[in-house]
Amino acid sequence: MSASSAFNDEKGGSSSVGEPEYGHDPASGGIFSSDYKRHDDLKEMLDSNKDSLKLEAMKRIVAMIARGKNASDLFPAVVKNVACKNIEVKKLVYVYLVRYAEEQQDLALLSISTFQRGLKDPNQLIRASALRVLSSIRVTIIVPIMMLAIKEAASDMSPYVRKTAAHAIPKLYSLDPEQKDQLIEVIEKLLADKTTLVAGSVVMAFEEVCPERIDLIHKNYRKLCNLLIDVEEWGQVVIINMLTRYARTQFLNPNINDDDDEDDKEKKAEAATLAKRKPYVMDPDHRLLLRNTKPLLQSRNAAVVMAVAQLYFHLAPKAEIGVIAKALVRLLRSHSEVQYVVLQNVATMTIKRRGMFEPYLKSFYIRSTDPTQIKVLKLEVLTNLANETNISTILREFQTYIKSMDKDFVAATIQAIGRCATNIGEVRDTCLNGLVQLLSNRDELVVAESVVVIKKLLQMQPEKHSDIIKHMAKLTDNIQVPMARASILWLIGEYCEHVPKIAPDVLRKMAKSFTNEEDIVKLQIINLSAKLYLTNSKQTKLLTQYVLNLAKYDQNYDIRDRARFIRQLIVPTEKSGALSKYAKKLFLALKPAPVLESPFKDRDHFQLGSLSHLLNAKAGGYQELPDWPEAAPDPSVRNVEVKESVRAVGTVTYRDTGALWGLPGPQTMEGSEGCSQLDSASGSESGSGSEESGSGSESDESEEGSESEQESEEDKEEDKKKKKKELKKPVRESERLIILHLLLCRQTITPCSASKSYELLHRITGEGLSVEYCFSRQPFSPDGNMVAVQVQFNNSAASETKNLHMEDVKLQCGMRVKEFPEIGEWWGEAATAVMGIDFCDSTQAANFQLCTHTKKFFVSIQPPVGELMRPVFLTENEFKKEQGQLMGMNEITERLTLDAKCRNEHTIVQRVTTAANLSRVPCGSDKECRFAGRTVTSGSLVLVSVVTKEEGAAQLTVNCEKMVIGTMLVKDILLALTQ
């Protein structure tokens, strides 16, 4: 029964969809008569208790809204259904509410309680959608409710709800700007969020509410840089634009030493002297931003590519900007609207940095099917790119363009030729000749444009081109376009000395046709006559008189005015004052040649890619791109307390990860979730942090280090240097220990002491006290189940540090720590201490406070998995036997391709033993290397074998009872062997 009635309604509905074409345009009227009736039946349907009827009614109402028809009188009937059980009806009611709540504020309040209930729902998606609708209802009276809801949602467990909270912030701000301070607090809180889902939305809120509060970004800067690649596309655009502005306030200009702007040579000299005093070193954070944005040039989203391109243009050292050219040229294949915007920006870029687009010259060639605005922009780019080497090709291209049917485009081409000729001296004559040929073109517009351009060109060196002037003088008979005629007349007047015979004749002809000319031509005739009178009064006196007389009675008062003025100046009478003596100087002064400039010059003071840049006018809400600071502000503001920084990098989940595919199951694909099983308590971040870098390094330097390993060569070198520096000291300090250690544990052939040191406390955070630690790989004598950690203190502060000790150790259950004895006072620079930690065979961090007599610092030590074991000696047979027992789930095999530098046995052994504290097991075959160890706490065996094959292919097998350890160890060794 209900089905059949619904069917009838559906039919009625669909027929009504077809008919109301008149409703498209509200101005056409006729709505009221028919709509009243229909609204009545809609109300009836909404009041019924059948969901199908309600749904049908809502669909028709939404269709009305979509067509722009007024459905506001249905508000009471619709709002009743806000608590409807049917999710489909509910959704449509929300759509309606958001559209009309503003107009019917009182009635809208009826729905609020439903949303408030929704905010408490156990399902995160329902919480989010309730907040979304609640915040979209633009009713001022509920501002306090919204504020409360946003605050609550900002600390919701679900990142999706937090994202919705971030979206709600600008909505509330636009409703009531007075809430700004409170909203900033929420923004500050959400900025600290570590999930990719929230990052884009909260930065968008930041940009709309408080873009001036750049200080809120400091602590989150590195995290944002690291998260960037995994944020959704739209968020990426917003974040990149914001970070561009941020970087301009915090870092130094990387091009300060070699800015080659011709127009500010003085500045250059100044900068050079400055540079001598202080060589430029890029802030590592500045580098981090450039490095992390670069891969996004390969995004499919044009807006992201453009955002990165503008970031590089505004922030990168000159030598590195080139990379963006290729990506921008790629965008020229996209939709014509995209081309239009990209070309505008390329045009601006080519003025400052011509070199980077030169290899792509041909990509800017014009097709006859391009829209006119694209053609003109491409022409602009081609003109900017022209130089001595490519000008002949470009001119050949221009020649084909001149024949185009699109006359506006031809005119633009002629101007472009003019600009090429002024910029490049060598081709000036060629261009002039070409333009002169155009003077015989049949199209008057073309001729006129050529005349105007030739005029500008001739002004540069008139003496050489009297024949062209003569040629143009002849044209006055044919050309009718006023601007062109005026230009010719001006030219003859200006250079009448070069064409003494022709000039008076032209004036004669012009005098004859004076009355029929356009105003601008008339003015030029007067000018010409005046100039001739001054140079050749014998021949032209009468003519001038005649012209001036004609002008005296002209209809246009400008012309009458000019005639009177000129007569007074040039014709000497007794009344004429001192001025007429200088008439010649007034009229025939040397005039500077005009500069033909690109309209895109200096547009780059607007941030590229912005609407303001495109319009060349400041749009509302545009944030100025600040100039580089003279001196860099304190970089330490970006340092984050250790715990916090654990670890944005860790959340780099998907696109950054390398060889994840070897791990079974779909879960591992989700990065942080995948390994959160390792530590449920401390959240997924720290777990994946350890996985990512395999170290526990929290400091910025080593963060830089571990990342740049995967980066380009130059970074590697930089990194190596840094590491060397880091290494030197601990090695010297621990030399004695190592020798001792070797003596003590002879039987466990420790091939390599992992003297790689990690930072525990950065010098800046520690206010002068810097602390590093390394895993010395010696047995910790007080307790055999503990890993020995050697800690080294360095005090570079002016004040002395006393009473160094540990406090407030926070551990996961089962873990134990043997603290190092308090260091009372020390002299000299460095001090070392050894502590023991029982990590319980997990890579969870040991957190504690490091206290001096005055301060406390939160620090944490996190072991790479390779340090959780100690070497054992096995014979070949023992190894095989043990391996046989650790099959199946306990065995993990990976194929890999060895790094080119790591194809001999020696380096393989070295790299494996550096990555993990294992000892070599003798083996008959030279194709196989075997290693063995036991985990420190539980003593489980860890067996590793690497079998090498042809051409660097290899197979890595790890057998370990503890699967988690095994999995992580495989990863670390893979990394060590492939890089």
Partner 1 sequence: MIHSLFLINHSGDIFLEKHWKSVIGRSVCDYFFEAKEKAVQPENVPPVLQTPHHYLISVYRDKLFFLSVVQTEVPPLFVIEFLHRVADTVQDYFGECSEGVIKDNVVTVYELLEEMLDNGFPLATESNVLKEMIRPPTILRSVVNTLTGGSNVGDTLPTGQLSSIPWRRAGVKYTNNEAYFDVIEEIDAILDKSGTTVFAEIQGVIEACVRLTGMPDLTLSFMNPRLLDDMSFHPCVRFKRWESERILSFIPPDGNFTLMTYHVSSQNVVALPVYVKQNISFLETGSCGRLDITIGPKQTMGKTVEGLTVTVHMPKTVLSANLTATQGNYTYNLATKVLVWDIGKLNPQKLPNLRGSLSLQAGAPRPEENPALDITLKIQQLAISGLKVSRLDMYGEKYKPFKGVKYLTKAGKFQVRT
**Among residue numbers 25 through 44, which ones bind partner 1 (CB under 8 A)?**
25-26
Report, in Å, the least distance between residue 183 CB and partner 1.
14
> Which residue, 329 or 351, is less far from partner 1 as judged by CB?
329
Beta-carbon contacts of 536 under 8 Å, excluding residues fewer than 6 positions away, are 496, 500, 503, 504
Q: Which of 34, 124, 580, 914 binds partner 1 (CB under 8 A)?
A: 124
Residues in Cβ contact with 557 at an 8 Å cutoff, skipping those fewer than 6 apart: none
By CB under 8 A, the residues from 296 to 325 that bind partner 1 are: 298-303, 305-307
Q: Binding string, 164-203, against partner 1, x = CB under 8 A?
A: x--x--xx--x---------------------xx---x--
> Cα dist. 956→324, 490, 892, 952 in Å?
40, 85, 8, 12
Tell me the closest approach of the beta carbon of residue 96 to partner 1, in angstroms. Answer: 11
The Cα–Cα gap between 773 and 792 comes to 6
Restricted to residues 361-380, the positions that interact with partner 1 (CB under 8 A) are: 362-363, 365, 367-369, 371-373
**Of the ranges 49-57, 140-148, 881-889, 949-957, which one interacts with partner 1 (CB under 8 A)?**
49-57
**CA dihedral sign, ordered 458, 462, 464, 468:** positive
Minimum Å gap between C-beta 147 and partner 1 is: 16
In 10 A of CB 664, how many CB atoms?
8
Output the smallest distance, CB 99 to partner 1, in A.
7
Total Cβ atoms within 10 A of residue 555: 8
Residue pair 851/803 in contact (Cβ under 8 Å)? The answer is yes
- Closer by beta carbon to partner 1, 390 or else 459: 390
CA distances to 669, 932, 971 from 957, rounded to whole Å, are 22, 12, 11
Under 8 Å between Cβ of 1 and 43: no
Q: Which two tokens stand for residue 956?
A: 């890595």
Site string for partner 1, 220-239 (x = CB under 8 A): ---------xx-xxx--x--
Q: Cα–Cα distance between 300 and 303 in angstroms, integer?
A: 9
Residue 276 · residue 257 · CB < 8 Å: no
Q: Which of 132, 218, 223, 911 binds partner 1 (CB under 8 A)?
A: 132
Pick the binder of partner 1 from 22, 28, 76, 123 (CB under 8 A): 123
Tokens of 125: 């998606």
Which has the closest alpha carbon to 166: 129, 210, 201, 193?
Answer: 201
- From residue 591, alpha-carbon distances to 432, 458, 495, 585, 664 in Å are 20, 12, 11, 11, 80
Q: How far apart are CB 135 and partner 1 at their closest, in Å?
A: 8
- Taking CB under 8 A as the binding criterion, the range among 266-274, 331-339, 594-602, 731-739 that sits at the site for partner 1 is 331-339
Between 91 and 805, whose beta carbon lies closer to partner 1? 91
Nearer to partner 1, 52 or 913 (CB): 52
**Residue 234 Cβ, how far from partner 1 at the closest point, in Å?**
4
Closer CB to partner 1, 498 or 647, in the complex: 647
From 403-411, 490-498, 821-829, 965-973, give the range in contact with partner 1 by CB under 8 A.
403-411
Contact 479, 485 (CB under 8 A): yes
Q: Label residues 124-138 b or e (16+ Cβ within 10 Å = b).
A: bebbbbbbbbbbbbb
Q: In the set 85, 276, 277, 333, which binds partner 1 (CB under 8 A)? A: 333
Q: Mask 635-654, x = binds partner 1 (CB under 8 A)? A: ------------------xx
Q: Nearer Cβ to partner 1, position 22 or 36?
A: 22
Separation between Cα atoms, residue 626 and residue 245, nearest integer Å? 7
- Binding of partner 1 at residue 537 (CB under 8 A)? no
Which CB, 164 or 959, lies closer to partner 1?
164
Which listed residue (24, 265, 464, 725) binds partner 1 by CB under 8 A?
24
**Minimum distance from CB of 125 to partner 1 (Å)?**
4
Among residues 35, 42, 46, 56, the one that binds partner 1 under rule CB under 8 A: 56
Tokens of 118: 């929704």
Query: Least separation, in Å, of the C-beta of 378 and partner 1?
Result: 12
Q: Per CB under 8 A, does 445 bind partner 1?
A: no
Tokens representing residue 484 in the block = 């062109």
Q: Which of residues 658-687 bind partner 1 (CB under 8 A)?
A: 658-662, 664-666, 669-673
Of residues 121 and 260, the one with the C-beta less far from partner 1: 121
The reply to whether 136 sits near partner 1 by the rule CB under 8 A is yes
Distance CA 959, CA 973 (A): 13
Of the candidates 121, 260, 270, 337, which one interacts with partner 1 according to CB under 8 A? 337
User: CB 618 → partner 1: shortest distance, Å?
Assistant: 8
Q: Tell me which residue has tokens 């985990």.
A: 935
Pick the stretch among 83-91, 279-287, 477-485, 811-819 that binds partner 1 (CB under 8 A).
83-91
Least Å from the CB of residue 263 to partner 1: 28
Distance CA 472, CA 479 (A): 10
Question: C-beta of 403: minimal distance to partner 1 in Å?
Answer: 4
Q: How many whole angstroms separate alpha carbon 657 and alpha carbon 114?
A: 43
* CB of 249 or CB of 393, closer to partner 1: 393
Tokens of 101: 């709540």
Between 336-352 and 372-385, two packed helices, what is the crossing angle to 10 degrees? 20
CA dihedral of residues 220, 222, 225, 226 (deg, nearest 10)? -110
> Which of 238, 344, 171 has its CA nearest to residue 623?
238
- What the block records as the tokens of 587 is 């009229």
Map the footprint of partner 1 across residues 888-917, applying CB under 8 A: none
> How far apart, in whole angstroms, are the C-alpha atoms of residue 184 and residue 188?
6
Q: Which is nearer to partner 1, 288 or 642 (CB)?
A: 288
Residue 362 C-alpha from the chain's centroid: 27
- The site that binds partner 1 (CB under 8 A) totals a number of residues, namely 126
Nearer to partner 1, 234 or 280 (CB): 234
**The pair of three-digit structure tokens given for residue 812, joined into one six-digit string:** 């996961």
> 604 to 623, contacts with partner 1 by CB under 8 A?
609-612, 614-615, 617, 619-623
Ranges within 938-977 binding partner 1 (CB under 8 A): none
Estimate the crossing angle of helix 537-552 against helix 519-535, to 10 degrees.
Answer: 150
CA contacts within 13 A on the Cβ side of 522: 23
* Choice from 31, 109, 126, 282 touching partner 1 (CB under 8 A): 126
| Contact by Cβ (8 Å): 502, 474 | no
Q: Which of 213, 267, 278, 403 binds partner 1 (CB under 8 A)?
A: 403
- Give the nearest distance from C-beta 12 to partner 1 in angstroms: 12
The footprint of partner 1 on residues 451-470 (CB under 8 A) is none
User: Which two tokens mark 563?
Assistant: 């005639």
**What is the distance between the alpha carbons of residues 418 and 40, in angstroms, rounded to a whole number?**
70
The only residue of 12, 38, 43, 62 in contact with partner 1, by rule CB under 8 A = 62
Q: Which residues in the 700-759 window bind partner 1 by CB under 8 A?
A: 710
Peptide bond into 647 cis (omega under 30): yes
Per CB under 8 A, which of residues 244..303 are in contact with partner 1? Answer: 295, 298-303
Our finding on whether 390 is near partner 1 (CB under 8 A) is no
Are 173 and 179 spatial neighbours (Cβ–Cβ below 8 Å)? yes
CA nearest to 168, candidates 123, 142, 217: 142
